[in-house]
Amino acid sequence: MSSNPNTTLLAVNGTLMRGLALNPNLTSIGATFLCETATEASYRLWTINDVHPAMQRVQSGGVSIAVEVWDVPNNGIASILLKEPPGLCIGKVKLVDGLEVLGVVGEAILCETQGKEITNFGGWRSYMSSKGSA
């Protein structure tokens, strides 16, 4: 997708997505939306108090999760991470086309202690839509 050495591809699966609460954290640093896609079928998704999602890669029982891919200036990655809710971090995410990019993922303890699994919805927007919130 991007071959610019000054930017990094970042997959986002929740409130950083276009039109949602934390999207200004991307746009304010000059990130550019590239596309909607999905992960390979090896992820599970949790809602954390219906405020934001947390996605984890799993060995079995995973599905494909809807994500957006953004082209982010390298000097802005730390800024995004520092503004993420506690328990979310940057890791590597495998996309449905086989490409591996950086992405926002959730720590296991966050999902275990504060999360309610919503994997069956296949994405944050779908889950929030089911609640009448999207």
In whole angstroms, what is the distance from residue 12 CA to residue 2 CA?
16
pLDDT at site 26: 97
In whole angstroms, what is the distance from residue 14 CA to residue 5 CA?
26
The answer to whether residue 90 is domain-embedded is yes
pLDDT at site 47: 97
Percent of the chain with pLDDT over 90: 93
Q: Note the pTM of the prediction, 2 decimals.
A: 0.94
100-130: pLDDT as tens digits = 999 999 999 999 999 999 999 999 999 999 9
pLDDT at site 3: 67
Average of per-residue pLDDT across 54-74:
97
Give the count of domains, the chain.
Answer: 1
Contacts of 93 (CB under 8 A, 6+ apart): 11, 39, 43, 55, 57, 67, 100, 101, 102, 103, 105
Domain containing 22: what range? 7-125
pLDDT at site 20: 96
The answer to whether residue 1 is domain-embedded is no
pLDDT at site 132: 84
**Per-residue pLDDT band at 134 (split at 50, 70, 90):** low
Residue 121 belongs to domain with CATH number: 3.10.490.10
The answer to whether residue 43 is domain-embedded is yes
- Whether residue 133 has pLDDT greater than 80: no
Q: What is the number of other CB atoms lying within 10 angstroms of the CB of residue 44?
A: 20
Percent of the chain with pLDDT over 70: 97
